[in-house]
Each structure stands twice: as C-alpha cells, then as structure tokens.
Amino acid sequence: MRLIHLKSHIRSYLRRLLVFSLLGAGLLSTVFLWADYQLMETLPAAQKAELSLQSAMLYILIACVVLIGGVVAWVLTANEARNKALRESRNNLDKAQQIARLGNWVWDLKRNEVYWSDQVYRNLGLSLHDNKASYEKFLECVHPDDRARIVKLVDEALENKQVYGIEHRVIWPDGEERIVCGAGEVIFDVQGNPVQMHGTIQDITERKRDENRKNEYAHLIYDLYNNAPCGYHSLDPRGVIVDINETALRWLGYSRSELVGKVMFCDLLSEDCVQLCWDKLGQLKKGGALSNLELNIRCKDGRLFCVLLTSTALQSEDGEFRGSRCILVDYTERRRHEKELQQAAVVFDAIREAVIITDDARNIVAVNNAFTDITGYTLDDVYGRNPRLQQSGRHDKTFYRSLWRSITEHGHWQGEIENKRRNGEIYPAWQNINVVYDKNGNVANYVSVFSDISVIKEKEKQLRHLANHDSLTGLPNRLLFFNSLENSLERARRRRMEVALMFIDLDRFKIINDTMGHEAGDILLKTVARRLLEAVRGEDMVARLGGDEFTISLEELSNTEDAAAKAGKLIETIRQPVHIGGHEIVCSASIGIAIFPHDADNAQNLARAADAAMYRAKELHRNTFEFYTSELTERAIEHLTLSSEMRQALERNEFELYYQPQFNLTSGRLVGAETLLRWRHPTRGLITPYCFINIAEDSALIDPIGGWVINQLCRDVAGWLKGGLKLPRIAFNVSSKQLEHYDVKGRIEHALQRWGLEPSDLDLELEVTEGALQHEERSVEVLRQVRLLGLSVAIDDFGTGYSSLSRLKHMPIDTLKIDRMFIRDLPDDPNNQALASGIILLGRALGLKVVAEGVENVEQLRFLQERNCDEAQGFLLSKPLPKAAFEKMLKGEGLPAIPPASLTVVRKPVAGD
C-alpha cells in the first residue's frame, strides 16, 4: 500500500512537469514566430522563401511535439482521475472496514506472503509499521486456548476445499482480550493445488458483549419470570394455558407439561369459580381487564390454593382478541391472615379481659367491650386520653416509676394493680402492658390487657382461710396451729412462761362414724369443736389436726396442775351426750399433755411429746389424760429401732411361721390350724407379733411382711402336699391396713401360682379382725374377691369390735372366732358366760362356724362343748408349733387326748344362758 502511494506521487509530479514543458514550448514557438515574422519583413524575397520553408518545418515539428505532449498530458490526466477514484475507493473501503471492524487478508501460499488490511492490524492490536503480516504472527495473537481450533480449521479447509468460520479470542499486546470472527476460503489452481487463501477478521467484541448483556438480561427476565413471588401464565382465546412460570407450578404441584394445553377454567378451578371465570373471560374479549379476582385453584394433591388474579387482554393490531396474560398472587396466607384478623377482632371484643391500645404518646386509641364492662368507660369517654384516668390513688409515684422503667427497659410489665372504675369504685386488677415496635424499632403502640380479679381476691381470701382452717369445724388446721404455736412459744420464751400443749383424740370415734354414718360423725366432730372453743380462754387456741384429733395450746400457764384441771374439765365436757338422729351418743376422749419448756423447746418436739402422751392415755384406760414423760420418748425410740430392724429381718429371713392346731370339740379331731408369725431376733430372741405388728403397720412394713407370710405359707403347704400329707384347714391373718391399702388378692394369687397350688385342692382360710370390717366398702369387696378364689373367711377376735349385727349377715364370712378375753374367766364370770354363749348362738343362727381361741383349762373346754361350740384352740390343746413339730402332728404324732362332748358332765344352768 505504501509503494502504491509512492508511485502515485511520482506520476503526478511527471504529469505536471510535462504540462509545464509543453506550455513553455508553445510559448517559445509563439515568440519565435513573431521574431521570424519581423525578421522576414526586412529580408529579401529569396531569403524570405528559404527562411519560410525552414520556419514551416520548425513549426510543424513544434506542432507535433505539442500535439504529442497534449496527448500524453490527456492520457496522464485520465490516469490521474482513475487513480484518484481508485484511491477514494480504497479510502472508502478502509473506512468501511474500520467502521465494520472487518479486515481482510490474502495469503499467497506459494510464496508464503501474507497481506493484511489496515483493519486486520487494528483488530489484532498491532501497529502497521512494526509488524510484518504472517500466519505465525497471527497465531501469536490468538488466545492460547483457541490456537489449536484455528489450526485444525485451516488444515481442514486446505484438505477439504471448504470455507471455514470461527469465533475466537485474541490477546492484544497490552493484555486486553478481544473477540473476533474469522473466515477464510482457499483458492485452487486448475490442477487442484491451493495457491491462495482469502479471508476476513472482524472484531465482534462489542457485539458479543451486547449479546452477553442481552442474554444476561434475557436470563434475568426469565429468572424473574420463573422465580417471581407471583405466578404468571398466558392463555389463548379459548382459555387454554400457553405458558406458565415456575412459581405457579411450584404452588400447584404440577410440571409444565402437565398444565400447558389445559383449559384453565375447566381443569384447575374449583367448581364455585368456573362460571365466574367464563363470565370474566367474556369481559376480557371485549377489551376489558380483571383485577384482584379471588379464585380457588385445585392443586395436584387436591388442595385448594387461593389466589388473586389480575388479567389483561392480548389483542392484534386490528383489535382481534388473541388471549390474555394473567398474574396470580398467593392469597392463601393473606386470606388466613384476614381471617385471623377477623377472628382477632371478634376475640378482641369477646374476651373477658379488658384491652387498651394507646399510641406512642400513651393516648388511648382503642378499647374493647370488656374494658367498658369492667371500668364503665366507653371508647368515646377515653379516646385520646391517658390511661392514668383509672389510677386509684393507692399506688405512689415510686410504683409507677418502677412500672414504666420495666416497660422502657424490657418492653413489658405485669403485676397486680388497683384501678378505679368510672363510678369511683376501686378494684384489684392483674395487668400486662407490652410495647409494640414498628419495623424501625420505634415505639408504635402500647397494649395493656387486664382483668378484674376482685372475685379471685375474694376466693384467695377464702382459700387462705380454707388453707389454714378445717373446712368441717372452722377451727385452725395443722398449718395455722403450728405457726401460731411457734409464735406462742417465742412469746413464752421471752416472758419466761410455760405453755401447755394438749393432743385430744376421741375414743372409738371410728366405730361411731362407721356404724352411724359419716354425717353423724361430722355432727359429733362439730359439736366437740364447739364445746372445746367454749371451754378455753380467748388467748388459747383450739385446732383440729385431722380425723378425730384436736389440739389446744394454753398460754401463760401458772403450773402443771392448771393444765391437769383443764384437761379433766375438757374430758367431762366432751363426755356430755350428743343427740344425733334420735340416738344419744356418749363419746370419751384421751388427752396427752406436754409442757414447754420442760418437755421440749420447740413446736415440733412439743407436739411429738403431747402425741406420745395421748397414745399412752389411750393404751392405759382411755377417757383420761396423761402427761408426757421421758419413758414415752424411750418407747418411741424403741419403736424406731424395731422398725429399722424389721426391714433388716425381711432381708435376713429372720421371720418364721408357727402353726397352732384347732380341734373339733365333738370328735376331737385335728381340723385346722392358725398360722402365727414369729420373729427370731438375733439378740432379743423369739418375738411375737404383739410386739411389732402395730409398728409394722405404722411404718408401711405390713405389706411386705404380710406378703412374706402368704408366700411362706404356700411354700410350706406345697411341701406338705408333695410329701403326701393330708392337710386340714390352714388359716392366716391379714391386718386391717392390708385390706385398706394393699392388694391382698394379688398377693394370694401370686403365691399360689408361684408354688403351683390350686385353691380348689386346699382349704385355706383368711382371718381378719372385726375392726377391719369397719371400712365396709373396701374390706367387703376384698373379702368377696378372696372367696371367689376358693378361700374361706373368718372374723378373728369377734366381740371386741362393735360390729353392726344387722350388717353381719351380709358379710362374706364363714367363721366366727371368739376372742380369748371372753374365754379367759370361764366358766366363773357370768358376763363372759353370757357373751361366749351369745356368740355361739349367733354363729349357729347365721350358719357360721364358731371357733374359740385361748382355751387353757379343762373347765373352759367343757363349757364350750356343752354349748356346742364347733372348734377350739389354745394351750390346753396345743401351743403354737414350729413347722417341723406341726408336720409330725399332721402325721398323727403327738395329738392331744380331747374327751368327746358326750363324756362331759351335763352342766348346770348359769346366768347368761
């Protein structure tokens, strides 16, 4: 290109030189002609002719030179115009290439010479003067990752005679990366050999960037379309889904292929929305629009999804309806929220608690109906006012400062407060105040919820009274009494005075309560409480500890004799008859007395002392009082020791079973045995149940001990049966505590199953004391269950428990056992004669077997035989035997000789017969 420009400049210079030369020659010829003419005018004719011929030839020569020069000048001028046009064309091409950023190149394959247009240099970032065009230079500019592709394409083009095109990257010398589009074509000669390659390189960096931006924008639009919080879909004129975005698909649970082609209004909408939508579609066809139409769309899993639909019509240029574009807004949560708001509004006005809402300046903006009901103020009365209008005046400024400090620091306060109603009445309220913040964290509202707790406070007062007083008698209960006693002892300690504490227990109250009913028992307790209150001073305190136990504290006691005198008067007061339901009831009491500070220095120990003294009074005579002594404490310690040792005895297997035989008084045969428990203590020796059963009942050991007895009995019986022995009836005792509180039937069933015994193969008898039947409902049910197992039931110590004879016939019992106290003085004591005879007659009348226990001499035996008592046991016949000795008796060894009833002397009539 630079050589072409140089040749063009040379030709232009020569052309100008030739024109100027011709002009000079013509001017010179003109001068010569004029000079020649002037000279010829002065010459003679001959010279003039000769000179004219020479001049003519000269002129002809000059004319030819000028003509030739003119032709040459014309040719040169024409070439100049053509070259100018060519230069302009080249300039325009170069400009066009620069504008299009499209350069061309030629590669002479035979000479391996490459021509690049200026734009190629520019596209490669190279200067025109410092870089020679070559294929290798071009590859140097290509991005290293793209070179292999280009080489491969060029090779394929040379081999396959095909045009190639490729987009690739080039690296400019300054490191900038550009994108170019290259294309090339191979020129072959007639023999099919490649001679040249022509091609172009276009810088498409900006276009690619624009395309990338457009693609990114398209992807953005696509992402927005598919991930927008709203659902989008397009419908054709028939309502068929043409397109739908991912959000809507996600809501409904469908895939795109499942919905595209579905008729929106027929296939997806709930039945109640179908007709509505067809009507709205007609509105759309007329060029209208839909806004916030609430619809229920059926999801794939059958759920109804609530949306708000906004739709616009799509029309062609001539106004033809082409379909619609729809926007779906998830309305499920909003509708639920609206429903919740509606419910909240209902609750707001329906709840029983008063609600006050204030603005951030603490001015009331809303109250509910309960507020009006509680305070008497309506919303019109309080709107815009401060809630302090309710202040009762009973709280000081410190209280309110503390309240608002809690609200400011913690956003919350709750507590009890006294407010004032509109009518001036002051009432207690339980109030909660909470702060509501806006999205910027600033206070927007205060919400106060409170309830009138007047009724609760009154109930609390009643509950406090109930918590501290006995509900039946109205007397202070154990809690209040001991709190007051502590205060009394503290006063006595300061004044160096004595205080007497009395524990009062009604004698045989349980029998009265069970035989006459709980209502009668309650009347008796209230009567005793009233009499005790009337019998003491105002400063003394009377309390009911529970059941039939009362207690009295006597303050500022002068001496113990005063306490004794007061106890005696109380016993006489209690013994006064009480008329209940047409019956006259006389109830005695046992009183234990402990003196502070002699017997104890605190309320708990003083109570223990009085309690121990009261139990001593009951053990001795009843209907009396006893002062506490140190021996009672020693006895209590003994009880604790025995209780602890009993637990160890169970673990060490120190208990044993003895069997006392029972004999038929007619035939003298061994017909039964009573199982008796013995404790072989490692240091105390053999201990009878009389010494420890009561302690076992008080320390909750009666159930495991009773269970041991039943299990051991079944074990012995199983061994005897396995040895082939024929067994008589075997009786065992169950205490009243076991019947009341433990699963006796379950214990028996478990033991029988454990030792493989069937009740039908045995003759087992369960003995209970008469007192155990006082808890009639529980005890009778247990006895019925035991009899269903196949066991018989006997009442032990009959005659000592004041059983109701009217109910005795309904009891599930088989045997009556006469208590030994009625046998002891027979036949000399006429009262015992009458009682023993009566029990025997009663048993026969009720069809019950009668067994006498405690028979110790022949006279007693004969008395019982004469009155046809069925069976007897006692030391006269046999003392209780250990297992081995009783086993010998079962084998017929060591049986006592009992004279049959037919050999006894006919008795004389005695009192009580």
Tell me the three-class secondary structure of 589-607, residue by residue: EEEEEEEECCCCCCHHHHH
> CA 282 from chain center: how many Å?
52
Taking the C-alpha atoms of residue 635 and residue 175, their distance in angstroms, rounded to an integer, is 110
Q: What pLDDT, in 10s, does the model give residues 105-127? A: 999 988 889 999 888 899 888 88
831 residue type, one letter: N
Output the six-digit token pair for 692.
């420890």
Taking the C-alpha atoms of residue 832 and residue 177, their distance in angstroms, rounded to an integer, is 132
Taking the C-alpha atoms of residue 589 and residue 508, their distance in angstroms, rounded to an integer, is 9
Distances (CA, A) of 465 to 458, 459, 476, 477, 536: 11, 10, 9, 10, 22
Per-domain residue ranges for the chain?
2-95, 101-210, 228-335, 351-458, 494-628, 653-703+726-752+760-893
CB 794 within 8 A of CB 870: no
Burial label, 208 (beta-carbon count in 10 A; 0-12, 13-18, 19+): middle
Among 375, 353, 371, 376, CA closest to 451: 353
Name 633's Cβ contacts closer than 8 Å, sequence gap at least 6. Answer: 609, 612
Taking the C-alpha atoms of residue 109 and residue 850, their distance in angstroms, rounded to an integer, is 144
Taking the C-alpha atoms of residue 524 and residue 581, their distance in angstroms, rounded to an integer, is 11
CB 546 within 8 A of CB 472: no
Q: What pLDDT, in 10s, does the model give residues 515-557? A: 788 888 899 999 999 999 998 888 888 999 888 899 999 987 7
Instruction: For 733, list phi and psi in degrees, rounded to 5.
Output: -95, 145
pLDDT of residue 907: 41
Q: Could you say which DSSP state residue 800 is in?
A: S
Q: Could you say which DSSP state residue 763 is in?
A: -
The fold adopted by the segment(s) 101-210 is Beta-Lactamase (3.30.450)
Q: Could you say which DSSP state residue 760 is in?
A: G
pLDDT of residue 265: 57
Q: 425-455: string of b/e by CB count within 10 Å (b at 16+)?
A: eebbbbbebebeeeeeeebebbebbbbbbee
Q: Could you say which DSSP state residue 510 is in?
A: H
Taking the C-alpha atoms of residue 552 and residue 351, their distance in angstroms, rounded to an integer, is 50
The fold adopted by the segment(s) 494-628 is Alpha-Beta Plaits (3.30.70)
Q: 381-402: string of b/e by CB count within 10 Å (b at 16+)?
A: ebeeeebeebebeeeeeeeeee
* Candidates 3.30.450.20, 3.40.50.720, 3.40.50.300, 3.40.50.620; CATH matching 228-335: 3.30.450.20
pLDDT of residue 294: 80
Across 614-742, the runs of DSSP E, i.e. the strands, are: 625-627, 655-664, 670-681, 685-687, 729-733
Per CATH, the architecture of 351-458 is what?
2-Layer Sandwich (3.30)
pLDDT of residue 236: 84
Mind spelling out the 3-state secondary structure of 391-414? ECCCCCHHHHHHHHHHHHHHCEEE
pLDDT of residue 736: 79
pLDDT of residue 910: 38
Name 226's Cβ contacts closer than 8 Å, sequence gap at least 6. Answer: 245, 246, 247
Output the six-digit token pair for 450.
């409170």
pLDDT of residue 144: 93
Q: Distance from first CA to last CA of the chain, Å, rounded? A: 166
pLDDT of residue 676: 94
pTM of the shown model:
0.42
Q: Which CATH class is domain 653-703+726-752+760-893?
A: alpha beta
Taking the C-alpha atoms of residue 102 and residue 116, their distance in angstroms, rounded to an integer, is 11
The reply to whether 228-335 shares the fold of 101-210 is yes
The answer, yes or no, to whether the previous bond of 144 is cis (omega within 30 of 0) is no
671 residue type, one letter: V
Residues in the chain predicted with pLDDT less than 50, given as ranges, are 1, 802, 903-913
